[in-house]
Amino acid sequence: MSSSPNPPRLAFAGALGQRAKGLELQEYALGIVVVLLFVVGSILKPETFPTWDNIRNMLTQSSVVGVLAIGMTFVIATAGIDLSVGSIVAAAGVFGGIMVGDDGTSSLIFIASAILFATFLGTCNATAIAYGRVVPFIATLAMFSIARGLALLLNDKLPVSLLDLNGGSFGDPRPGSLLWFGIGRIFGIPVSVYVFLTIAILGWIVLNRTRYGRYVIAVGGNREAARIAGVPVRRIIFSVYVLSGFLAGISTVLLCARLGSASPVSGNLYELDAIGAVVIGGTSLAGGRATIVGTFLGVLTFALIFSLMTQLNLSTEIQQVTKGLIVLGAVLLQRPEARY
Amino acid sequence: MTTVLEVRGLVKEFPGVKALDGVDLDVLEGEVHCLLGPNGAGKSTLIKCVSGAVEPTSGEILFLGEPLPQGDPAGSLKRGVATIYQELDLVPDLSVAESIFLAHEPRRGPLLDLDRMYRESEAVLARLGHDAIPVRAKVGKLRPAAQQIVSIARALSGEMRLLIMDEPSAILDEAEISTLFEVVRRLTAEGVGVIYITHRLDEIRRIGDRVTVLADGQTAATGLPASTSTDTLVELMVGRKVEQLYPDRPAGTDEVLLEVRGARRLPAVRGVSLEVRAGEIVGIGGLVGSGRTELLRLVYGLDPLDEGEIVLDGKRLRAGDPRAAIRRGLGLAPEDRKSQALVLDWSQAKNVTIADLRRFSRVLLDVRKERRTARQELRALNTVPDDPDRAVRLLSGGNQQKVVLARWLLHECRVLLLDEPTRGVDIATKAEIYRIITGLAGSGLGVLVVSSELEELAHICSRVLVMREGEIVAEVDGKEATELSLLRHAVAPTDAPDLVEEVV
């Protein structure tokens, strides 16, 4: 009796009148979080944190998971999930490395075969889910294991060096060489950051301004209603997993280009980072509500927090605990109004 | 006579909205007190306050003379307030017996007393006259009507002094409504007070003792006798006179748009042939389970055909392919708007355009044009509020239905399939929807309407086909159709052998 009759969340939703505006508000809120984190970092570590080098590092590192997270946003928008992207990154990297061979020199072969292989693995997911009617969680969990196994099998558990492709070197890679995609710069900004930004912008346009994007959200929002309204539900579901695999291929190229090698143990737990970024961005795991801007800000939030924690000499174990807590907190904040 | 429930000056404010603004109501022992009012009048909020699901802002609720604990559903339930909500709140994966005893399972020590649960469930269902419902079956496997009965059985399984029913008849057919009313009468004879919410005025006369009318969160009138004239009740509800509820029925032309030839999909549809001509409203009546909805699904391609074919404009329609059906000019407004027709979080505009995005899309969507066009269609149907960005979740049932209709208006379809077009829609909006449907037929569309409300079919259709057990058993000319004549065709021959013989 004494407590307020409405939980504050409900009041909030009522005042705004619509979910869509609530989503925008969440994006603003997350934007503020990103700015605050940057300010806090600059105060705590004024010499090292707000530097161009550090920003560049953060962006470069987040571009790998960032590209995965864009694909993940589409998958989660349909109320699906893709747990396999981290393993696919590893498998596609090793596969690309093998295709290049020991004396190969063309980075194009590596890029093409890595992306093709990742897309192929994504298509396997898509087929199992859309046509085999396997639950996405299970289908991609299986691929999580299969792709990791392939990554280890393909080159006998050994990493493949990609340093020499098109004369790349860590110092100043030539444009077009593989390393150039990882650490080369245009106007002082790493190429991988351009790739990430381009994909994020394209992702936004596709999700918000094309028929395809509208269908993706419709399928997640109400599958039966989408079907009755003439949305090709099965094809849409199929497509998001192919897309997720394709973007995992891009992510592979960015990662291997930065490291100069393809390791069968790389990409470990990347799927969780990607899902985490998507979820703190405000995309609903129940489907039907998705935001690329939120995902982008979610990726930045993670990057800032880890950069800061690293500089404060906090161990990776602590970082992992923090990561989990942030994701949990974000989901708690955005859960639908509890009605009991 | 004892007063079971006394509500005085009840106010409930939601942010920005006063859902209840001083409501009075009293329910006597053994009476059926009907609660009437347009959508959004506050009926649901009122009963939620009584059942404890919502805590009122101010006012009092006395139950058997004592204040009812507010915002405490378990407390209300324990005192004997049972509620059956409009939206069925059953867990599909639980068995019938488990659903009936959910949250008060009989136990022997720490373990469930399953035997007792099954036994007592059977007894409760028998009390409702529905002992045919298998108590071990999963609720999700039952038809909506049977699920409704399980809900009622759940309410009955506890000690009960007050039963609140929120539009229980909306998903029941005539025969089941009669059964339901028998049950209600039996309960009132035991002294239970009943609050009965309905949109159907005929039900008030059949079952009600007194009527309370809500409008805009206030009591427009309370304690009226059930014999109060329809005109008076409708006027109280909408605050003005409603013109003619049913528009003149369209005659139709000779041009055949849709032909169903020997459509068959067992077990629900056993060989149905029919025609829909341009400008015609063809009704399909029948009891729940007669195959009406399943037939519409076959025509629209949602389910594959075992046999037969669907022909539109003289050309055969690819079976089992709703996208092809839509392209060729079919549209479906399904039975359950929320789960089958709408993306609830989306704006009205997006829900209108979803079937026709191609029209606004080259490479990119022209969202401005989309919104503008959607707004035009919504305005043409007088959708309230006039705000294309409003999420459809927040609209009343009638306006949600208009959004679905606007979708197919935009699509310029040739034949519109409507499944229960006015379910859960208040009477003023019903009149509007009838006018829209008639207007569409007038503009040359063929309309095929499935409805449980035989009265509405009898009034708006050019022809009414009656289905029974998956077959069409009668065709009645609209002008000759009455609720009773349709019902006679719809019930099984064993119930009325002399009446059916002349038809078959």
Tens digit of each residue's pLDDT (9 = 90 or more) over A163-177:
777 666 666 777 777
pLDDT of B406 reads 94
* Paired tokens of B178: 């009669």
Task: Measure the CA–CA gap between A216 and A239, rounded to whole angstroms.
Answer: 9
Asked if residue B353 is part of any domain, the answer here is yes
* Paired tokens of A156: 């006998």
* Paired tokens of B107: 């136990």
Look at A225 and B340 and tell me if their CB atoms are within 8 Å. Answer: yes
Task: Measure the CA–CA gap between A329 and A238, rounded to whole angstroms.
Answer: 31
Beta carbons within 8 Å of B22's beta carbon, 6+ residues apart: B9, B10, B11, B59, B217, B218, B219
Strand ranges of the sheet holding B58-63, from the earlier edge strand across to the other edge: B17-28, B3-14, B58-63, B66-67
Closest by alpha carbon to B393, among A223, A233, A17, A15? A17
Is residue B289 located within the same domain as residue B179? no
Classified as helix, coil or strand, B70 is: coil
What DSSP designation does B340 have? I
Q: Which residue of B has its CA nearest to A6?
A: B14
Q: Is A95 left (phi over 0), alpha (psi -120 to 50) or beta?
A: alpha
CB atoms under 10 Å from CB of A101, counted, come to: 11
Asked if residue B56 is part of any domain, the answer here is yes
Is residue B87 located within the same domain as residue B227? yes
Number of structural domains chain B divides into: 3
Radius of gyration of the CA atoms of chain B, in A:
24
pLDDT band for B198, please (50, 70, 90 cuts). confident
pLDDT of A4 reads 38
pLDDT of A251 reads 96
pLDDT of A286 reads 87
Task: Measure the CA–CA gap between B467 and B473, rounded to whole angstroms.
Answer: 6
Name the strand (E) or helix (H) holding B466.
Answer: strand B463-468
Look at A18 and B302 and tell me if their CB atoms are within 8 Å. Answer: no
Q: Please, are residues B226 and B208 in contact by the beta-carbon 8 Å criterion? A: yes
Mean pLDDT of B285-297: 87
Gap from B67 CA to chain A (nearest CA, Å): 13
Is residue B310 located within the same domain as residue B363? no
B 180-199 → A contacts, CB under 8 A: none
Is residue B350 located within the same domain as residue B481? no
Question: Helix axis angle, A52-77 relative to A292-311, nearest 10°?
Answer: 140
Give whole-number Cα distances, B145 to A199, A276, B206, in Å.
50, 43, 20
pTM: 0.77
pLDDT of A249 reads 97
Span of A14-23, A65-74, A141-150 with lowest mean pLDDT:
A14-23
Per CB-CB distance under 8 Å, the chain A contacts of B361 are 210-211
All structural domains of chain A with their residue ranges: 62-333
Asked if residue B435 is part of any domain, the answer here is no
* Domain of residue B263, CATH code: 3.40.50.300
pLDDT of A204 reads 96
Name the strand (E) or helix (H) holding B67.
Answer: strand B66-67
Closest by alpha carbon to A257, among A64, A69, A104? A64
Look at A289 and B340 and tell me if their CB atoms are within 8 Å. Answer: no
pLDDT of B504 reads 28
pLDDT of B27 reads 93
Is residue B17 located within the same domain as residue B63? yes
* Overall residue count recorded for chain A in this entry: 340
pLDDT of A259 reads 87
Is residue B177 located within the same domain as residue B132? yes
pLDDT of A213 reads 95
Q: Convert the pLDDT of each residue in B222-254 to its tens digit.
A: 888 888 887 788 778 766 655 677 888 888 888
Q: Classify the complex by whether its ipTM is higher than 0.95, answering yes or no.
A: no
Task: Measure the CA–CA gap between A69 and A79, rounded to whole angstroms.
Answer: 15
pLDDT of B385 reads 78
Look at A229 and B407 and tell me if their CB atoms are within 8 Å. Answer: yes
Task: Measure the CA–CA gap between B155 and B153, rounded to whole angstroms.
Answer: 5
pLDDT of A171 reads 65
pLDDT of A335 reads 60
Gap from A339 CA to chain B (nearest CA, Å): 9
Per CB-CB distance under 8 Å, the chain B contacts of A231 are 354
Is residue B48 located within the same domain as residue B133? yes
pLDDT of B495 reads 43
Gap from A227 CA to chain B (nearest CA, Å): 8
Between A18, A211, A229, which is nearest B361 by CB? Answer: A211
For residue B200, pLDDT over 80 is answered with no
Tokens 């002349």 — which residue? B502
Look at B340 and A228 and tell me if their CB atoms are within 8 Å. Answer: yes
Look at A289 and B345 and tell me if their CB atoms are within 8 Å. Answer: yes
Span of A156-165, A198-207, A274-283, B335-344 with lowest mean pLDDT:
A156-165
% pLDDT > 90, chain B: 35
Mean pLDDT of B461-483: 90
Between B15, B358, B394, which is nearest A11 by CB? Answer: B15
CA atoms within 13 A on the CB side of A88: 36
Beta carbons within 8 Å of B247's beta carbon, 6+ residues apart: B434, B435, B438, B460
Is residue B311 located within the same domain as residue B356? no
Gap from A297 CA to chain B (nearest CA, Å): 23
Tokens 């005893």 — which residue? B101
Is residue B24 located within the same domain as residue B137? yes
Is residue B218 located within the same domain as residue B289? no
Give whole-number Cα distances, A159 to A84, A182, B314, in Å.
20, 17, 65
Task: Measure the CA–CA gap between A245 and A242, rounded to whole angstroms.
Answer: 5
User: Which one of B412, B431, B456 terminates a domain?
Assistant: B412
Look at B365 and A226 and tell me if their CB atoms are within 8 Å. Answer: no
Classified as helix, coil or strand, B91 is: coil
**Residue-averaged pLDDT of chain B:** 85
pLDDT band for A285, please (50, 70, 90 cuts). confident
Per CB-CB distance under 8 Å, the chain B contacts of A288 are 343, 345
**Residue-averaged pLDDT of chain A:** 86
Phi, psi of B479 (to 5 degrees): -65, -25
CATH number of this structure's domain A62-333: 1.10.3470
Q: Convert the pLDDT of each residue in B295-332 to its tens digit.
A: 999 999 999 999 999 999 999 999 889 999 999 999 99
What DSSP designation does B169 have? G
Look at B345 and A5 and tell me if their CB atoms are within 8 Å. Answer: no
User: Which one of B238, B256, B276 terminates a domain?
Assistant: B238
**String of DSSP letters for B8-39:** EEEEEEETTEEEEEEEEEEEETT-EEEEE--T
Task: Give the domain range for residue B396.
Answer: 336-412
User: Which one of B238, B257, B280 terminates a domain?
Assistant: B238
Asked if residue B354 is part of any domain, the answer here is yes
Tokens 């690329």 — which residue? A292
Is residue B324 located within the same domain as residue B448? yes
Asked if residue B57 is part of any domain, the answer here is yes
Residues of A with CB under 8 A from a CB of B: 1, 5-6, 10-11, 14-15, 17-20, 205, 209-211, 214-215, 217-218, 221-222, 224-232, 288-289
Is residue B387 located within the same domain as residue B294? no
Residue type, A134: V
Q: Which residue of A has its CA nearest to B368?
A: A209
- Give the mutation candidate from B13, B365, B387, B389 for the A interface (greatest A CB count, under 10 A): B365
pLDDT of A85 reads 97
Asked if residue B433 is part of any domain, the answer here is no
For residue A295, pLDDT over 90 is answered with yes
Span of A230-244, A317-331, B166-180 with lowest mean pLDDT:
B166-180
Name the strand (E) or helix (H) holding B155.
Answer: helix B144-156
